[in-house]
Chain A
Amino acid sequence: MPQPFDKLTAVAAPIMRGNIDTDVIIRIERLVGNSARGTLGKWAFGSLRYLPDGSENPEFILNREPYRQAEILVTGPNFGCGSSREGAVWSLQELGIRAVIGSSFGDIFFANCFQNGVLPVVIGRETVDQLAAEIEATQGAGRISIDLETQSIIAPSGQRHTFEIDPRRREGLLHGLDEIAMTLQRDTAIRAFQAADRSARPWIHFAGPSA
């Protein structure tokens, strides 16, 4: 069940390189095993955050103050493209990130965010660039406020931007709704569909080796 999200005012870190893939967000070997969750914050953005000798890369934004406290990422286009690994969202969450703002996101990453109570905000590329510039101009001191109820962002300059979001997704995040429980309320319809489909498309339901 996702944690609810309504409002957030926080430090935001711009990571503006385009096409940051989920392999870059979290390497696969950190996710192998059923007990990886809870250990991932340290490994988020590992290839950017650490130098080959394992020490912190001082150049990387999340290794600098005040960005270490960031709860929002302002991202370049197509952030979260690539693999379906939900660990990408878990690792961001464990790093303290609660919202990502960008002009576009990888489709599967985008869906995974909602499942975990992380808000992905899609706004125009120019607005994203402007937010990043304002944050950098204040060296991270300028915070960003997000209000999901009113679907708006307040930039460090005080300028207000609104964003679109699927009403169902919005509702789910505001209330931390459990999608499985909601779907199971429709189980009668699911079973009725399957019963009808068994005659319409028997080859789907009676699959078995033709030995």
Chain B
Amino acid sequence: MQQPGRTMLAKIWDQHVIARISDDTDLLHIDRHLLHDLGGSRGLLDLKSKGLEVHNPELTFATPDHAISTAHDRAGTSKVGQDLLAALRVETSASGIRMFDVDQPGQGIVHVIGPELGLSLPGCTIVCGDSHTCTHGGLGALAFGIGSSELTHVLATQTLVQRRPKTMRVRFEGKLPFGVTAKDMILALIGQIGVAAGTGYAVEYAGGAIRDLPIEGRLTICNLSIELGAKVGMVAPDETTFEFLRGRSYAPQGAMWSQAVEAWRRLPSDADAVFDREVLIDVETIVPQVTWGISPEQVIGVDGRIPDPRSAGDPVRAAAITTALDYMGLVPGAPIAGTPVDWVFIGSCTNSRLSDLRAAAEVARGRKVAPGVRAWVVPGSENVKREAVTEGLDKVFTDAGFEWREPGCSMCLAANGETVAPGQRSVSTSNRNFIGRQGPLARTHLASPASAVAAAITGAIADVRSMGR
């Protein structure tokens, strides 16, 4: 009998099984473990307190990103942030773990540096104590976020006990319209199928519009998988992937490179592979997206109107809309465009790579941030920052009135004290518009980098397509 086709998930999963624990649960090898300042030293200290050692320090890498200030010279890093950074230095050094420290090439948001350095590779398993680890799936990796206990388990054993997820394939077909980006594609998907649709699934993104995306766009798509409820998001590796990785400092070289590429070509799902759920999205119908509520699924086109609970249909949905509008201070039925903003944040593991900064700079060039708006650009890594400076992007932003900052997570989750003030409204290129995410009572609208700049320039949520260049 002919074997049925296999999904990419199954191929990568099976290659990492050390032992079968039960029918649907396996002990998996972990190829890359990434540590950051918020949980890295805690995990290493936890391990020490159990009398254990790091199983494979050579497969473990660390960088500070969450708790450090993004001000120049890292001024304003809190005492506790400084302590976490110091502890990360001491504990990684004691365990022989490579750490990319502040001001060094390689430092940055952990989900930016993995791909950038070639640490993240197709077909490898990657974990990190951060839910946006799904980002690395943009290169064809099986990557997912873990909690503190699993983090210690990986340090101790270089493995994890995992239940095999169900599979979902999302095919994005068509040509992306002008002004519409990878961020808009994934927000539109979340708006359509909801934030719980991916719970229990690994999502594979496929279709012509995914193949047309450069790697950085694929990383953005996979980054928001967790906002779909899925721990894992992935895109099959192809020539675009190989070209992106070729020559990166931790990517294989020479004969090993050829051997790796040969193996990576076998990873994509077979043509007859069967997924537990299939979703089809026509990208030609997508317009630039902006969230209006307190969950990423509360999203509309920038040309749309704020939902009215009275036309919601069922009472549960109506109550959810009312709660969101109360928190966000929005009027039902009004156009979302024209809503005045106080803050614009361009950064985060979603949208802080060089291509994001280029797209933002293209809209910002020769224009000025509206009076009363504070606008920050926080590059995703030291290398992104240096390349952007070489291209003169920092100058474009500062000439326009943006603040150009040091790399880190910054105002995406506000763990380092960088917050939007209570009641203030922010357009952010990050991934979560949860209650208080950017600071207590802060109101967050998620959008693409180009849309965020459009808001900064006009002082209100705006359709970037009308600022066309």
- The residues of A with any CB-CB pair to B shorter than 8 Å are 17-19, 21, 23-24, 27-29, 31-34, 47, 52, 77-78, 81-87, 89, 104-108, 111-112, 115-116, 166-168, 179-180, 183-184, 186-187, 189-190, 193-194, 197, 201-211
Contact = CB atoms under 8 A, between A and B. Distances in A.
Nearest to A21: B434
A199 B414 CA distance: 44
B240 interface: no
Contacts of A167: 22
Most chain B CB within 10 A, of A19, A87, A179, A205, is at A19
A197 B29 contact: yes
A152 to B, nearest CB: 22
B59 A205 contact: yes
Given A84-B147, A184-B156, A186-B27, A107 B199 contact: yes
A193 to B, nearest CB: 5
Contacts of B22: 166-168
Contacts of A18: 196, 316, 320
B149 A78 contact: no
Interface of B: 18-19, 21-22, 25, 27, 29, 31, 38, 41-42, 45, 50, 52, 55-56, 58-59, 66-67, 78, 80-81, 83-84, 87, 119, 121, 123-124, 129-131, 145-150, 152-153, 156-159, 161, 163, 195-196, 199-200, 226, 229-231, 247, 249-253, 256-257, 259-260, 263, 295, 297, 316, 319-320, 323, 413-415, 417, 422, 432, 434-437, 440-441
A19 B31 CA distance: 32
Given A18-B316, A201-B263, A168 B25 contact: yes
B131 A108 contact: yes
A108 B146 contact: yes
Contact of A32 (B27, B81, B230): B81
Contact of B226 (A24, A82, A194): A82
Given A28-B415, A33-B80, A203-B121, A183 B260 contact: no
Given A17-B323, A82-B131, A166-B163, A180 B25 contact: no
26 contacts: A17-B319, A17-B320, A17-B323, A18-B196, A18-B320, A21-B295, A23-B437, A32-B81, A47-B436, A78-B199, A81-B229, A82-B432, A83-B413, A83-B432, A84-B147, A85-B147, A168-B22, A183-B157, A183-B161, A190-B27, A190-B29, A190-B158, A194-B158, A203-B259, A204-B121, A205-B59
Contacts of A17: 319-320, 323
Contacts of B56: 194
A95 B86 CA distance: 31
A121 to B, nearest CB: 16
A83 B25 contact: no
A194 B28 CA distance: 11
A207 B84 CA distance: 27
A155 B444 CA distance: 39
B415 A115 contact: no
Given A32-B415, A89-B147, A190-B29, 17 more contacts: A17-B323, A23-B437, A29-B415, A32-B81, A78-B229, A82-B432, A83-B413, A87-B148, A111-B146, A180-B157, A183-B27, A186-B18, A201-B263, A203-B121, A205-B58, A205-B59, A207-B58
B129 A82 contact: no
Nearest to B320: A18
A180 B52 contact: yes
A78 B316 CA distance: 14
A183 B148 contact: no
A203 B129 contact: no
A78 B190 CA distance: 14
B437 A81 contact: no
B353 to A, nearest CB: 21
A24 to B, nearest CB: 6
A92 to B, nearest CB: 13
Nearest to A129: B316
Given A23-B437, A202-B259, A205-B58, A29 B414 contact: yes
A34 B18 contact: no
Contacts of B295: 19, 21
A116 B152 CA distance: 13
Contacts of A116: 149
B250 A180 contact: no
A206 B297 CA distance: 42
Most chain B CB within 10 A, of A17, A21, A87, A180, is at A180
A141 B59 CA distance: 53
A23 B432 contact: yes
Contacts of A31: 38, 415
B131 A184 contact: no
Contacts of B87: 34
A186 to B, nearest CB: 6
A34 B45 contact: yes
Given A111-B150, A115-B149, A32 B434 contact: no
B185 to A, nearest CB: 21
B40 to A, nearest CB: 10
